[in-house]
Structure formats: structure tokens, C-alpha cells
Amino acid sequence: MVQVSTQEFAAQCYELHQPPPFASLVRTREGETDIFAVVYHAETGPLEPGRRPVARGREETEEEGVYRSHPQLSRLLRTEFRAWIVGHRVEGKLVQALSPRPPKLHSFVYLAKTDEIGEFGSSLHFLGPLATAPLPSREELIPAFLLHLAGSREDREEFLLRAGKELTLLLRGDAPRLQSLLRRLS
């Protein structure tokens, strides 16, 4: 992790162009507390902000050839992702709220396991805070995250129906936004 706060964190990937998928659930740890977050942004760029990459590969027939011809690129570029904290587990209990403390810098981040994803989807308390989070991709993130959670559940259709009802309650005063989100769930 290269940047942390109580609401989100940024992490650098060990491999270029290999961030966790958009809207996936990731886990990190702070002391005895597991912290869960949803990936909402990823980017690859220069290690040094003032050094913008230049176009390469004019003589190459495939993109991988650019990296073979210029192996230094893997040391000059970095892939980072940002994740919004949606819950934590302390003493075995999963809570869909911010962790008492943010994760530490240089903590490791892992994709949540299938059983953790299923357990996280057992409650929808995260939807309210996520629906009002100041994220640029929020309208894409919410349905994508719900579909990600649904994918690990045997009751997929029932889960999505329950999520749609919860969104209806949360966004009852914003019909256009609600319709947009529900359309993406179907």
C-alpha cells in the first residue's frame, strides 16, 4: 500500500498492468482486523510524476515487443489501484462500516476469497455509504460490485432482487439514477 486513509487506500501492483478487477472485493489487515474494500480505480503511469511516457513500438508488430525491446519500462512505470473501504472483520465478526484504524502503509492487499465474498454479500449495509461515496465511477461501481458479490452466491437471483429492493429504498427520491443502476443489474 502506498497511500492510506480511514476511507480508502492506494496500492501499487508488483506486476505492470495487473491490478485487481474493477469492483472486486480486496482484503488487507491492520493488526488483528481484516479490512475489506472495493476496487474503484486503476491506472498505469510513470513512477516519477513529471516524466510522462513517450509512444514506443513503431517497429513492433505486437505490444509485448515494446516491453521486450525496452525492459527498463517495467522499472520506470507502475500500476496502482484505489479501493474504497466497505467493511472490516474484528474478533471474527464482519462489520460493514469503516475500520477503527486505517491499514498501515506497505500493508499487503489480497483479492478476497470466494467464501469471504459470499459472507460479505450476506448483508447490504454497505450500499448506503457506497451510494453516497464521492467516487467518480460510483454509478458503474455499485452494479458491478453487486454482480461481483452475486457471482459467489448460490442464491444469485434472490441476492440481486434483495439488492434492487435496497437500492429502491435508498434512492426513492432519485428515479433516473435508480433506473440506471437497476438496468445495469439485469
Report the pLDDT value the prediction gives residue 57, as an integer from 0 to 100. 86
Q: Tens of pLDDT along 42-73?
A: 999 999 888 888 888 888 888 888 888 888 88
- Examine the pLDDT at 74 and tell me if it is beyond 90: no
Neighbours of 56 (CB within 10 A): 14
The predicted structure's pLDDT at residue 43: 96
Helix spans in the chain (H)? 63-69, 73-76, 114-120, 127-132, 138-150, 156-170, 175-185
- pLDDT-based confidence at residue 14 (cuts at 50, 70, 90): very high
pLDDT band, very low/low/confident/very high, at 159 (cuts 50, 70, 90): very high
User: What would the mean pLDDT of 99-123 be, rounded to a whole number?
Assistant: 95
User: What is the pLDDT at residue 20?
Assistant: 98
Per-residue pLDDT at 150:
96
CB 32 within 8 A of CB 105: no
Mean pLDDT (the chain) is: 94
